Homo-oligomer: A and B are copies of this chain.
Amino acid sequence: MTIVDVARHAGVSTTAVSKVLRNAYGASPAMRAKVHRAIEELGYRPYAAARGLRGKTYTIGVMLPDIRNPFFPDILDGLTDTLRDTDYHVLLGPSCDNEKDEGKLTDAMVDRGMDGLVLIAPVMSRTRLDRLATTIPTVVVGRHSRSAHYDTVTDDDTAGAALVVDHLADLGHRRIAHIEHHETDPARLAEMPNAVRADGYHRAMRARGLAVDIVSTSYTQEGGYLGAQQILARPERPTAIFAGADIVAMGVLTALSEAGLTVPEDISLAGYDNTSFAALGPISLTSVDQAGHHIGTDAARLLLQRIADRTRPAAQVKLAPKLVPRRTTAPPRP
């Protein structure tokens, strides 16, 4: 079942069918109707793989660091909701949290002729990111970099971290530890959301005259578990922990519970992302909302615009985070 069959069935040329399929200029209403009827009657579906050879594949690729992090589905929902009424399909790569896997995945997506990419918090070098974006329309989410070739959607992570520090400090906490996602590359130190968040914590603490206490693990449940264990092994225990992501806070809860500590009586805990798990009754985690759905919507919109016009100036959308206080934060024991 090909375009040739449709053309024959409708009594027109293959060119005509192609034009109708693409809503291209140069097909009369009568022709469109004929072709559409033929498509209907034959149950024809264009073969995207073949379209890609000359035109577009109507496919958008999404890369994310960790499918287990419940924040990313929010972004995905925003993306798919926006793309639902278009001809585009979204295809997701499996989690990849290192430069090598990222390279493999983005290569694979380019090789499959995808029309555009949404990269969520990519760790690849700025050079590579830039090169990629000149190859294929790209929107970068979360990473605080700026390029002429790709659009970005970010949340103000500096402000978000300050929100948490201020909240805890206002409650009376003086010793507030932070668990961050380990970042050594100096170039990425200024760009990755986790690094900016840690920097925001740093600034906010110093602005209050408080001593900085950072533990480096990763933005995973295990990272939170291990980070909390390190913190609990300290001679002087902090009275509050600011986990860089809700998923980290989940692991922290396990470690605290195993240590026989209760939240917020023994120690306060705040997360980041305001995922659906933060709202869970028995957890009720204080967190920072960065409106994942909205991020996804913006990313999709920007990508569609960039696909339509690859020369348009790059846009930087920056969203403002919001603190959502819940039951895991309270004044420290007197």
Contacts and interface: CB of A to CB of B under 8 A. Distances in A.
Contact of A257 (B93, B111, B281): B281
Contacts of A145: none
B254 A111 contact: no
B67 A57 contact: no
Interface residues of A, number: 51
Interface string A84-128: 000001111111000000001101101111000000000000000
Contacts of A53: 49-50, 53
A286 interface: no
Contacts of A256: 281
Interface string A50-64: 101100010101000
A331 interface: no
Given A45-B107, A92-B94, A277 B250 contact: yes
Contact of A111 (B48, B70, B108): B48
A236 interface: no
Interface string A155-173: 0000000000000000000
B94 A80 contact: yes
A253 B91 CA distance: 33
Interface of A: 45-50, 52-53, 57, 59, 61, 67-68, 70, 73, 76, 79-80, 89-95, 104-105, 107-108, 110-113, 221, 250-251, 253-258, 263, 276-277, 279-284
